[in-house]
Amino acid sequence: MPTNELKMNPLKNQRKHLKSHSKKLSFALIGNPNCGKTTLFNQLTGSRQYVGNWPGVTVEKKEGNLKLYNTDINIIDLPGIYSLSPYSSEEIITRNCLIREKVDLIINIVDATNIERNLYLTTQLMELGLPMVIVLNMTDLLEKKGDTIDYEFLKQVLNIPVVPISANKGIGINELLKLSLDFAKKHKELKVKNIYSKDIDKILNSIENVLNETTNKININNRWVAIKLFEDDILVLKSIKLTKLQEEKISKYKNMVQLSKHVDRQMLLADARYKYICSICKIAVHKKNDHNIMTLTDKIDRVVTNKFLALPIFFALILLIFYTTFGPIGIFLKDQTNFLINNIFGNLVLNTLNILGASEWTKSLIVGGIIEGVGSVISFLPQITILFTLLSILEDSGYMARAAFITDKLLRRVGLSGRAFVPLLMGFGCSVPAILGTRILERENEKKLAILMVPFMSCSAKMPVYSMFIAAFFSKNQPFIIFSIYIIGILAAIFTTLIFKRKLLKGTSSSFIMELPEYKLPTIKNLTLHVWERVRDFLVKAGTVLLGAAIIIWFLQSFDTTLHLIEDSSQSILAAIGTRIAPIFTICGFNDWRASVSLLCGLVAKESVVSTMAVLYNTGSGIDLATNISQNFSALSAFSFMTFVLLYTPCIAAVSAIKKETKSILWTCFIVFYQLFIAWFFSACVFQFGNLFLNFAKF
C-alpha cells in the first residue's frame, strides 16, 4: 500500500449525482476491541453521527450517515467483541443486530499487526453468509515493523474482498468506500466456505437438512444455525421451534462426534478455526523481525507496567492532569471566560435593559438570575475542555488499556476485576453512561458493586463546585486539593465495596483478559470528536436544565409565600425551605439555608449547585461569586461542603440509570439513601476531625 496516498475526505471528490433514485444501505462495523473500529467510524461519519441505545437494552450504540455516489449509507458501530458466542451483552447485541436487522454489508476491521487473533472473529462472520469486506487496519504500523501481508492471497483463499487501510492516518478510506458500495450492490449473500474436517462437515450438512424441514427459521442461513446448534447455543435453540423428532435427529448427529473428557463441541470447532487461520497466515504473513526483538511499545510497557513503577506513574499522570486543569492555565482561562460572561456581556445586557426602561424585577431575572446562574457554570467550560482533552489523549494513545491492567490487582481485592475499570473511569466523565457501562461485567454481584462505586467517582458536573471553592479558599494548593477530593471519592467507593461484598454481594470476581494495543499518536480529528461530544452535553445541559433551574431559583428567592416581590431573600420561599433542612448540616460545618438549598437543587444536576449559589449569594455589589462564598464559609467548612457534593446522591438521570440496570426500585432507593448517609457521615467527619486537629495544633 503506498504510504504517500493523499488523506482525502471520503465524502469529497467521490460524489456523483446520478439520475437514479437514491437507495439507503446499511453497513455494520465489527471487529475486536482496540482494532481501530471507532477511529474508522469517525473517519467515515465525522460529525454526522448520533448515539442511542439498542432496543430493549441499555448498551450504547453509534450510528452515522454519509452519501456516496447518490447512495445514502447508514454506518452502525457495533460493540467490540472477540467472538459471536453469546457470553457477554456486547456479543449478544452484535449478533442480534446482524441477524435481526437488515444489514447490507459487514465491514470487518482486522488489526493487521495481530492478524492471527483477529481472524477468529472473521471465520465466524463468514459463516453468517452476509456480504462482507475485510479491512486490514494499522498497515502503517505493520510496515514500520518491516512485516508484509499478501493481500491478494488472503482475498483469493477467503473469497472476500480485502482492503488495507490506516484509519488513524486516513489512508485507504476512499478505496474502502468504493469497494464496499460496489460489493453491497452486487452481492446479497456470501457463499459459506467450509473450514472443518470432512466428518464435522458431514454432520453439519445433516443438521442443515433437518433445519430445511422446519418453517420456524431465523433471518440467517441454515449453515450458521447448524453450527450454533452443534455448539449447543441455547439462544439459537430457543429461537427455533423444533419438533421432538427434529430435536432427536439433531442430537443423534451431534453425538456422532467423539469427545474427550476436557473437550466439548464448541472447543472442537474453535480448534478447527485456529488451524485454518494458522494455515493461511503461514503463507500470507511475512515477518521481518524475530518476535523476541523489542518494539517501541514493549520498551514503554517495561516502564509503565512495571511492578513497582506502574501505580506511581498512573497517579503522577492523574495529578499532572489535575494540575493542568486546575492550575495556572485552567484558572486563567476560567477567569477570562467568567469576565467575558458576567462583566462584559452582563453589563452590556444590563445597560441595554436600562435604556429600554425595563422594570427592576426584569433586570433581576435576566442579569441576576439567568446570566449570573448559567454564566457561573459556563465559565468552567475551559477547564472541562482541558480535562477531557487530556483524558482523550491517554485513551487514544493506548495507555488506558494499561491502566485497566494495572488496577486489576487492586480491584480484585474489593471484589471486582480490571474489566470494572472501564465503567469506573467513565464515571469521572458522567455517571449515566458509566452505570450503563456496568453491563460489561459478567457476574451480577460485580455489576451491583460497580453501580455502588460509580457515583463516588467524581463526575465532571461536580467540577465547577470544586473550582468555585478552591478559587475562594485554596488558591495556593489547587491541584493537590482537587486530587485529595478525588482520592476521598475512591476511598469511599472502596469502603462501600468492603462492606457489601462480604454481606449482600458475596461472590468471586470474574476472570479478566484484555489485549494491550500498540501505542499510537492520537489524531486531531478523534480528539476533537471525543471532546466535542462532552462539551456539547455540557452546553445542552446549561441551555436547558440549568437555565430552567436558574429561573425557578430566582423566582423562589425573589418572592415570599404570599407571592410578593421581596428585597431580602431571607424572607423568601426558598429560605423557608432551606431553614427546615439546614440544621441537618450543622455538624458538617455549613448550616446556612442557601448552602442547603443549593445541595437540594444539585439532585437535578450537580452544576445546579453553582448556578443556585450564584443566584442566592449574589449581593448585587459587583463582587464575584468566589469572594461572596469566602465570606460565608471557612476553609474547613468549604472542604466539608465539597466532600458532601462529591459523595451524595447523583443526579436524577443517574438514579434513573441505576433503576434501569438493577431493575429494582427497592435497590435504587437503598442506593439513594445510602449515598446521602455516606456523604453526610464523611462530611461530618472531615469537619469535626478537622476542627479537632486545628484546636490541637493551637496547643
Residue 521 forms part of a structural domain:
no
Instruction: Tally the domains of the chain.
Output: 3
Give every CB contact of residue 315 below 8 A, 6+ residues apart in sequence.
Answer: none
**Amino acid in position 286:** H
CA dist., res. 678 & res. 588, Å (int): 12
Task: Please write the tens of the pLDDT for every residue from 118-164.
Answer: 999 999 999 998 999 999 999 988 888 888 899 999 999 999 999 99
pLDDT at residue 157 in the model: 92
pLDDT at residue 448 in the model: 83
Looking at the fold, whether 203 and 115 belong to one and the same domain comes out as no
Residue 300 forms part of a structural domain:
no
CA dist., res. 499 & res. 501, Å (int): 6
Residue 305 forms part of a structural domain:
no
Q: Any idea what the CATH number is for the domain that residue 216 is in?
A: 1.10.287.1770
> Alpha carbon of 31 to those of 40, 53, 607: distances in Å?
11, 19, 38
pLDDT at residue 14 in the model: 41
Looking at the fold, whether 90 and 233 belong to one and the same domain comes out as no
How many helices and strands in the chain, by DSSP H and E? Answer: 33, 9
pLDDT at residue 440 in the model: 67
Residue 525 forms part of a structural domain:
no
> Alpha carbon of 521 to those of 113, 126, 398, 529, 619: distances in Å?
16, 33, 9, 16, 49
Q: Any idea what the CATH number is for the domain that residue 72 is in?
A: 3.40.50.300
Residue 57 forms part of a structural domain:
yes
CA dist., res. 222 & res. 206, Å (int): 11
Looking at the fold, whether 50 and 79 belong to one and the same domain comes out as yes
Looking at the fold, whether 268 and 367 belong to one and the same domain comes out as no
pLDDT at residue 133 in the model: 95
pLDDT, mean over the chain:
81
Q: Are 87 and 71 in contact (CB under 8 A)?
A: no
**CB count, 10 Å around CB of 81?**
21
Q: How far is C-alpha 477 from the geometric centre of its chain's CA atoms?
A: 31
Looking at the fold, whether 581 and 667 belong to one and the same domain comes out as yes
* Backbone phi and psi for residue 591, each to the nearest 5 degrees, phi listed first: -110, 20
Q: How does strand 60-68 pair with strand 148-149? A: unpaired
Q: How far is C-alpha 339 from the geometric centre of its chain's CA atoms?
A: 33
One DSSP character per residue, 51-65 reads EEE-TTS--EEEEEE
C-alpha cell at 466: 470544586
3-state secondary structure of 645: helix
Looking at the fold, whether 579 and 689 belong to one and the same domain comes out as yes
Looking at the fold, whether 400 and 478 belong to one and the same domain comes out as yes
Report H helices in 187-327: 198-211, 222-230, 234-239, 244-254, 265-284, 296-304, 310-326
Residue at a domain's end among 166, 186, 206: 186
Residue 146's closest CA among 279, 291, 297, 299?
291
Residue 514 forms part of a structural domain:
no
pLDDT at residue 585 in the model: 92
Looking at the fold, whether 408 and 449 belong to one and the same domain comes out as yes
Residues of the chain below pLDDT 70: 1-23, 47-61, 86-89, 215-219, 260-262, 289-293, 373, 376, 415, 417-418, 440, 442, 502-515, 541-542, 545-546, 619-625, 698-699
Q: Are 442 and 510 in contact (CB under 8 A)?
A: yes
C-alpha cell at 259: 469427545
Q: Are 512 and 343 in contact (CB under 8 A)?
A: no
One DSSP character per residue, 410-476 reads HHHTTT--GGGHHHHHHTTT-HHHHHHGGGG--SHHHHHHHHHHGGGS--GGGHHHHHHHHHHH-TT
Looking at the fold, whether 162 and 252 belong to one and the same domain comes out as no
Domain coverage including residue 216: 198-286
pLDDT at residue 506 in the model: 55
Residue at a domain's end among 151, 186, 221: 186
pLDDT at residue 523 in the model: 79
Residue 513 forms part of a structural domain:
no
**Amino acid in position 568:** D
Residue 301 forms part of a structural domain:
no
3-state secondary structure of 11: coil
Looking at the fold, whether 569 and 430 belong to one and the same domain comes out as yes
3-state secondary structure of 565: strand
Q: How far is C-alpha 360 from the geometric centre of its chain's CA atoms?
A: 46
Buried b (16+ CB within 10 A) or exposed e, 108-117: bbbbbbbbee
pLDDT at residue 15 in the model: 37
- The single-letter DSSP state of residue 559 is B
Q: Are 133 and 112 in contact (CB under 8 A)?
A: no
3-state secondary structure of 260: coil
Residue at a domain's end among 131, 161, 186: 186
One DSSP character per residue, 606-654 reads THHHHHHHHHHT--SSS--HHHHHHTT--HHHHHHHHHHHHHS---HHH
**CB count, 10 Å around CB of 264?**
13
Looking at the fold, whether 148 and 70 belong to one and the same domain comes out as yes
Looking at the fold, whether 347 and 494 belong to one and the same domain comes out as yes
3-state secondary structure of 567: coil
Q: How does strand 60-68 pair with strand 71-77? A: antiparallel
Contacts within 8 Å (CB) and 24+ apart, 419-426: 419/510, 419/512, 419/514, 420/446, 420/449, 420/450, 420/453, 423/450, 423/454, 424/450, 424/453, 424/454, 424/457, 424/493, 425/400, 425/457
Q: Are 431 and 459 in contact (CB under 8 A)?
A: yes
